């Protein structure tokens, strides 16, 4: 028994020390694990701090890149202002813009129908003309106002002094070699930019009977019938006032009264040309359109065709001018006009000093941008129209044929570079001057080239 007791005691002591050793070893492992956890936590903190630092550095880099991009953009814009796109004015100082341009035109006709005094009538002829423009505009942003000065000059009548037509072929001719003031006006915005008032020496065709694709002889159609309706008695650049009001974004109401006699500024209220227009600005299927309706009257003295003693008659008329984008590259236009057929203005004469008057005119056409054939800035355009003389004009002289004069025009504008465009232009006129030119009633073909330089 003593031996068994000793053995039992030995085993108990062995187990106690063994368990103590195991427990001690387990405690040691737990300590190591805790130390590892602390190290991992410390590493995680360091990684988190490094991530925050990297994020801050990235933010700083992005800010610096944004700043660099802004400076590059501003420099690019400044550089572009120095070079300028065609027709874009150069900013001299803040709010003050200077623009300049020149238009040079050469036209040839296969059948001219008039020879000025002392000249021999030739079946074919080629002539040239040029015009130059300088514009200066100042914007007063703090009061919502703008001032504008337009100087213009040119030389040559082109073919127009050799063609007797109801509506001639070169709207750009400007036979004044010295620069002169053609526009000088001040415009003030009112009613939170919903109204605008302009007064001074104005161009009425810049405000009324306009079109997005048929209203600029320097880059669009050259023929007068397509520039503006020939049955509106627009005075040349003259003293006047124009008011525009936009009650809605899609609706513009305009009214203007101008001195009907642009040769003098005296007694302007005795010779008023009044015109009012409503423009519906549409956006069907995100395609912009303008639908303009207008009416006008002119208090200049007119003479009745069938009663020559009545020489103090007024004239009046109405019309419309539509333009509508069909898709991203095609824009169409339509014009129609009518005026009082009973009277005529003795100061409005065709080449050869011939009196006449018109009753109706219409024109339609389209413009196609060149992106389908890889020339995004080029333009191809085509138009057709007719000018109808008045019945009273025809009745006034039984010898008159007074046929309807027809016009075709097509041009292709090639944007050579930022400053230069070239436009081959072709026109055909049938029934010139209503077939009332003695000895010559054939159609007239006119081919030409226009160069437009903006600098």
* Boundaries of every domain in the chain: 1-83, 90-454
Q: According to the model, what pLDDT value does residue 51 have?
A: 72
pLDDT at 26 over 80: no
Q: What would the pLDDT profile of 231-256 be if each residue is shown by its tens digit?
A: 999 999 999 999 999 999 999 999 99
The confidence score (pLDDT) of residue 175 equals 77
Model pLDDT for residues 401-421, shown as the tens digit of each residue: 999 999 999 999 999 999 999
Q: Give the least confident one: 43-47, 306-310, 349-353.
A: 43-47
| Share of residues in the chain with pLDDT > 90 (%) | 70
pTM over 0.85: no
pLDDT in tens, 68-105: 555 455 444 444 433 344 455 666 667 789 999 999 99
CATH topology of domain 90-454: Porin (2.40.160)
% of the chain surpassing 70 pLDDT: 85
pLDDT at 316 over 50: yes
| pLDDT score for 2 | 55
- 215, pLDDT greater than 70: yes
pLDDT at 177: 77
pLDDT of residue 10: 53
Residue range 125-153: average pLDDT?
A: 95
Dihedral sign, Cα of residue 82, residue 85, residue 86, residue 91: negative
Other Cβ atoms less than 10 A from the Cβ of 399: the count is 6
């Amino acid at each position: 028994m003593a031996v068994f007791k000793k053995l039992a005691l030995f085993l108990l002591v062995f187990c106690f020390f063994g368990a103590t050793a195991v427990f001690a070893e387990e405690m040691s492992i737990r300590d190591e694990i805790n130390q590892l956890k602390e190290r991992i936590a410390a590493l995680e903190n360091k990684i988190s701090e490094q991530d925050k630092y990297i994020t801050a550095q990235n933010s700083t880099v992005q800010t610096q890149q944004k700043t660099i991009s802004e400076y590059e953009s501003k420099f690019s814009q400044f550089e572009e202002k120095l070079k300028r796109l065609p027709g874009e004015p150069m900013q001299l100082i803040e709010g003050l813009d200077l623009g300049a341009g020149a238009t040079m035109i050469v036209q040839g006709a296969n059948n001219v129908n008039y020879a000025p005094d002392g000249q021999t009538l030739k079946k074919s002829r080629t002539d040239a003309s040029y015009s130059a423009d300088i514009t200066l505009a100042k914007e007063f942003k703090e009061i919502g106002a703008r001032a504008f000065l337009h100087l213009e000059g040119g030389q040559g009548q082109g073919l127009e002094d050799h063609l007797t037509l109801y509506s001639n072929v070169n709207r750009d001719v400007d036979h004044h070699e010295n620069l002169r003031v053609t526009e000088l006006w001040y415009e003030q915005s009112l009613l939170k930019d919903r109204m605008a008032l302009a007064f001074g020496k104005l161009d009425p065709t810049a405000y009324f009977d306009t079109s997005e694709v048929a209203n600029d002889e320097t880059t669009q159609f050259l023929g007068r019938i397509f520039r503006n309706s020939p049955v509106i008695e627009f005075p040349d650049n003259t003293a006047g006032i124009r008011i525009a009001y936009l009650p809605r974004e899609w609706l513009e109401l305009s009214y203007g009264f101008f001195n009907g006699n642009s040769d003098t500024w005296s007694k302007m209220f005795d010779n008023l040309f009044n015109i009012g227009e409503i423009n519906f600005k549409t956006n069907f299927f995100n395609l912009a359109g303008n639908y303009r309706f207008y009416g006008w009257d002119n208090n200049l003295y007119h003479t009745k065709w069938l009663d020559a003693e009545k020489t103090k008659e007024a004239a009046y008329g109405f019309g419309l001018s539509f333009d509508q984008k069909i898709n991203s590259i095609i824009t169409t236009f339509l014009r129609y006009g009518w005026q009082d057929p009973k009277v005529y203005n003795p100061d409005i004469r065709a080449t050869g000093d011939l009196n006449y008057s018109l009753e109706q005119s219409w024109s339609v056409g389209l413009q196609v941008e060149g992106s389908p054939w890889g020339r995004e800035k080029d333009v191809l355009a085509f138009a057709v129209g007719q000018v109808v003389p008045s019945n009273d004009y025809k009745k006034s002289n039984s010898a008159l044929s007074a046929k309807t004069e027809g016009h075709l025009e097509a041009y292709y504008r090639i944007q050579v570079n930022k400053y230069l465009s070239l436009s081959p232009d072709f026109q055909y006129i049938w029934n010139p001057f209503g077939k009332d030119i003695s000895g010559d009633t054939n159609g007239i073909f006119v081919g030409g080239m226009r160069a437009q330089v903006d600098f």
